[in-house]
Amino acid sequence: MTDLQTRAAPSRAGALRRAAPALLGYAAVRALGLLVLFVWSAARDKSGYTLLTARWDALWYVRVAELGYGYEVRLANGDVHSNLAFFPLLPWLERLVAAVSPLSYADGGFVVGALASLAAAWGIFAVADRVHGRRAGVCAVLLWAALPVGIVQSMAYSESLFTALAAWSLYAVLTGRWVTAGVLALLAGLTRPVGLAVVAAVWAAAIASFLGERRAAASLGERRTPSPVRRILGMLLAPLGTAGYVLWVGHRTGGGPLGYLDVQAGWRNGFDGGYAFARFVAGKFTSFPSAVAGAGLILGVASVVWLYLAGLRRRQPLPLLVYSGAVTALALCASSYFGSKPRLLMPAFPLLLPLALALARQRTRRSAWILGALAAVSSVYGAFWLNGSGPP
């Protein structure tokens, strides 16, 4: 990581020019996805815009923006679905957009999601460019845009906002901007529970940097190391978002520091080390049709693990490994909502870097054909998915 920090970061205007091909390509892929969704939805007498802004989690975020916290739904089986499960930054921004414009809260969620997805694409490019170069950066962004569940990036969901904050926090770490990294980690922690992954990345990188400086100073016979004030400040800021919201929920519910876990339990969600997911996969092997789906799930998990190990073999910077490892573990080891796991893995963009590097080494025409095909498949799948069961 020290080598990465020694390279000067480009100016803002220069960085935007450098990222322009990636951002234009990203916008094109997402525009294709939206076009296919709207055409598909119209053919089924549905509103594609409604599917993006007023279904599933998007409705819960709008309720937080409109009503504040305290709204809940009691199901017939006794479960309680409380909107306290949803972190506040996205609904705060929805409320802000509605306050300064004629747009509704749902419209605000769509606007925030669209802008955040572009910011996320830029952040992913910045990280990948820093680690592997510009071509790999462009490929990483297009791979992220063309994920099978990439349509979520265009929804009034919090994944794009979280990914933007996480990517830029990681970039700040790679460039030694510790206070910026801490502030962005704080905001990521106000966006989704997986903000803990960003905190872990900031802390791991800072600790590794401290140890590296001490070893370097000792080898040179120096008694003093560079001032750690900004690094320590970044470390202190990073967990405040997650900790603040979780502690507030515990106080509000009377459940103490672990009250947020009780709220998640009302949604039948928790962390069991992957036991429930393993049982879910095993249960697929009861008949031939479902066994195919089970085999696909095993292949998907194996691919994720392989990509992480590939990043490890290529010696990805420590904060990227810690972040992607934490996001992957939290996604795969959650005990409920198995259909949402691909969506929960979407912020783990460092997993795509080995593939992006491989594509960058191909001829431009070949990589363009591959990425174009992936974008087309992603667009069709996204339209089919949202017009079917959709993301839980």
What is the tens place of the pLDDT at every residue in 346-392? 999 999 999 999 999 999 999 999 999 999 999 999 999 999 877 76
Distance CA 105, CA 156 (A): 10
Residue with the larger pLDDT of the pair 157 and 279: 157
Any bridge partners for residue 73, and if so which?
81
Q: Is residue 286 part of a domain?
A: no
Distance CA 47, CA 77 (A): 32
Angle at 118 between CA 40 and CA 243, to 5 degrees: 110
Predicted confidence (pLDDT) per residue in 164-216, tens digit: 999 999 999 999 999 999 999 999 999 999 999 999 999 999 999 988 877 76
Sequence-distant (6+) residues with CB within 8 A of 26 are 117, 118, 121, 141, 142, 144, 145
Q: Is residue 248 part of a domain?
A: yes
Q: Is residue 208 part of a domain?
A: yes
Indicate the pLDDT class of residue 280, thresholds 50, 70 and 90: confident
* pTM of the shown model: 0.93
Indicate the pLDDT class of residue 221, thresholds 50, 70 and 90: low
Distance CA 184, CA 181 (A): 5
Q: Is residue 324 part of a domain?
A: no
Predicted confidence (pLDDT) per residue in 61-99, tens digit: 999 999 999 998 998 888 889 999 999 999 999 999 999
Q: Is residue 136 part of a domain?
A: yes
- 10-19, 169-178, 222-231: which has the minimum mean pLDDT? 222-231
Give the chain's radius of gyration (CA, Å).
21
Q: Is residue 156 part of a domain?
A: yes
Q: Is residue 21 part of a domain?
A: yes
Predicted confidence (pLDDT) per residue in 244-254, tens digit: 999 999 999 98
Distance CA 344, CA 197 (A): 12
Q: Is residue 59 part of a domain?
A: yes
Tokens of 125: 């490019």
Domain count, the chain: 1
Is 7's pLDDT higher than 50? Answer: yes
| Range of the structural domain that residue 14 is part of | 2-268+363-386
Indicate the pLDDT class of residue 218, thresholds 50, 70 and 90: low
